[in-house]
Amino acid sequence: MSDAQPITGCRPGDIAPHVFVCGDPNRVARIAAGWDEQRTIRVVREYTIVSGSKDGIPLSAASHGIGAPGTAVLVEELIKLGATTFIRIGNSGALDPKVAVGDLAITTACVRDDGTSRTYVIPEYPAVADYRVVSALVDGAREVGARAHTGITWSLDAFYVRNAVAGPGGTMASMSVGGYWPSHLEARIRDMQQARVLNCEMEAGILLTLAGLFGVRAGAICVVSDRTPWPGPSAIDLDRNMAHCIDAATRAMLALARSGA
């Protein structure tokens, strides 16, 4: 019987204990650019996976694509191959008015508003970032001079129907085809803002849920690339301060590995 994982094809020895994950396959190369050495493990479907080392510390980086289902596949397979620490490097939308485009958002916990995590465990089960990862990310952001915020992340499905464009007089308008937008979705955005939720994205919830269930540690740091509701699609900036985000996450991961905690 093959010892390869069925979806990614990764095998024992391919994956380091400390793993960066991200949505965009092209971001994997940026994450690994500053490593001392690297090798490509797999490029299949949405999964681009590299392993290598920096300062003598083995590292891996892998893309999970958009959304919780593909993220769950990747995280499960990497845990089975020995991954023990995950840091997600991503993009997110700001909900808190104090947060600006280009700031960094460090997740302390998630509102689990995705379908995948509910197939694993009851909705009341919390999705919480490991306190050591959060602390290391805060330190990493400070070291690189980035403006960073910590707080609760709304982790959701359905990018277009769950986002909105700002309309006149504080109204919101749909981003979905033909303006499709059930009325309760606008209320959900306002409810999250009222609850002081920091930001929204699509993968941290399942990552933190699986980390809790399977006894590994995980956290997430995201560039704020837009605000919810959007001023308009042209306002999104996926790359502003991404270099700072990667640098902060790398410093955090190396510190975690060196600490042995």
Which burial class, exposed, middle or buried, applies to 176 when counting CB atoms under 10 A from its CB (0-12, 13-18, 19+)? middle
Position 138 pLDDT exceeds 60:
yes
Number of continuous H segments (helices) and E segments (strands) in the chain: 8, 12
Q: Measuring CA to CA, how many Å separate 92 from each of 12, 40, 76, 104?
A: 33, 27, 23, 9
Topology of domain 89-259, CATH: Rossmann fold (3.40.50)
For the chain, give every domain's residue range: 89-259
Could you report the per-residue pLDDT of 41-76, keeping only the tens digit for each? 999 999 999 999 999 999 999 999 999 999 999 999
User: What secondary structure letter does DSSP report for 17?
Assistant: S
Task: Give 161 or 169, the one with higher predicted confidence.
Answer: 161
Q: Which residues contact 194 (CB under 8 A, 6 or more apart)?
A: none
Could you report the per-residue pLDDT of 156-167, keeping only the tens digit for each? 999 888 888 877
Cα Dmax for the chain:
63
Confidence of residue 116 (pLDDT cuts 50, 70, 90): very high
Which burial class, exposed, middle or buried, applies to 83 when counting CB atoms under 10 A from its CB (0-12, 13-18, 19+)? buried
Q: How far apart are CA 228 and CA 14, in angstroms?
A: 39
